[in-house]
Each structure stands twice: as structure tokens, then as C-alpha cells.
Amino acid sequence: MRPLTEEETKVVFEKMASYIGRNIAFLVDNKDDPHVFRLQKDRVYYVADRIAKFATSIARPNLMSLGICLGKFTKSGKFKLHVTAIPILSQYAKYKIWIKQNGEMPFLYGNHVLKAHIGRMSDDIPEHAGIIVYSMSDAPLGFGVSAKSTVESRNLQPTAIVAFRQSDIGEYLREEDTLFT
């Protein structure tokens, strides 16, 4: 497990900033409980600093996971957020969409968010911005990218796509064999 390089940090922060914006400073500058970003194989972890220091005593081949897995680097060098990043993203989210109960299961089965399933949404969501999807009881269900802005989505037909799904908590079951390997 090693710290991220400057280029890797830039790629990770750009991806996270599309979902949490300037709130990324809260992840880095937490004086009470400092956390660090670490890379193990191709996966990026967000872990408490004191635990990361303990992990240095474990050999790299024996260390499987540590802290919260935010995502992984692809072979082309891009960063892909994992479903395991939802607790961090939902805590500092800039734009949010709440879906009705009848839209939860289609979303959790891997479908995009339709206009008919939206209960409410944040004001001023721009087009192609990172959003966090919540149930009406404020439980984070996943994240994605807005297909239309808030103003445009009000005039859409009920079957139109409002947000493209990137990840949802249903992946824990659908991809349990490959999620942590």
C-alpha cells in the first residue's frame, strides 16, 4: 500500500469533485480524524491515518483491503468510482435526486432514473453533473450523472431519462464475485 502520486491524486480528485465539488477539502483537511488516500494494486482507499500507519507492518501480498475503497484505476489510467464510495459521496454531495418507492427497484436492478420515478431533486443541477440518488427516506441508493438540468427535466415526458446510472447498491449482489478482486 503506497500513497498516491501527484498525477493519480489529480485524477482521483477530479472525479470526486464532479460529485462533491469543493467539499473535497473536508476529506483532506480533517484535523480531528486525519485520513489519507492509499493505493493497493489498482484500487484507491480512503483510510484513517493512524490505521494506514499500522498497515505498513503487513506485507503487500497479504493485505487485501483497508479503509473505504473509493474506486480503481483502469488500465488506460482513468479512475472509476465504485459502489463502496457511496457513504463518502452521499455525506458531501452537491446535487441530489430522491426517487419514489416505485422507482427504487428499477434503479437497483441497473436502470437509469426516469422522470416518472423522481420524488424531488436539488435545484440548479446542471446537465452532465454528478448526482447522488436517494430513496424518499434519505437512504443513499447510488450515484450517476444528470442527463438534463433541473429546469429541462421539469418539462420532460414521464418516460424520459433524467439521470444516467453509474453505480447502485444492487451491485453488491450483482457483482459480488468481482467487486473486491
For the stretch 99-135, pLDDT in tens is 999 999 999 998 999 999 999 999 999 999 999 999 9
CATH label of the domain that carries residue 8: 3.10.450.220
Instruction: State which of 44, 62, 88 marks the end of a domain.
Output: 88
What is the structure's pLDDT at 158? 92
Q: What is the mean pLDDT of the chain?
A: 90
Instruction: Tell me if 179 is assigned to some domain.
Output: no
H/E stretch holding 84 reads: none
The secondary element (H helix, E strand) that includes residue 38 is: strand 35-40
Dihedral of CA 6/78/30/94: which sign? positive
**pLDDT confidence bin for 30, thresholds 50/70/90:** confident
Domain hosting 116: range is 95-174
pLDDT given at position 18? 92
pLDDT bracket for residue 61 (50, 70, 90): confident
pLDDT at position 87 over 80 = yes
Phi and psi at 107, nearest 5°, equal: -65, -45
pLDDT value of residue 180: 65
Question: Strands across the sheet with 118-121, in order?
Answer: 113-114, 161-168, 140-146, 130-135, 96-99, 118-121
Give the dihedral sign, CA 141/8/76/126. Answer: positive
pLDDT value at residue 172: 80
User: Could you tell me how many residues make up the chain?
Assistant: 181
Task: Give all strands of the β-sheet with 43-48 in edge-to-edge order.
Answer: 2-3, 35-40, 43-48, 68-73, 79-81
Q: Which residues does 117 contact at the CB level (< 8 Å), separation at least 6?
A: 99, 100, 102, 103, 106, 107
With a cut of 80, say whether residue 42 has pLDDT above it.
yes
Predicted local distance difference test score (pLDDT) of residue 181? 64
- pLDDT for the residue 31: 81
Is residue 76 domain-shared with residue 28, that is, in the same domain? yes
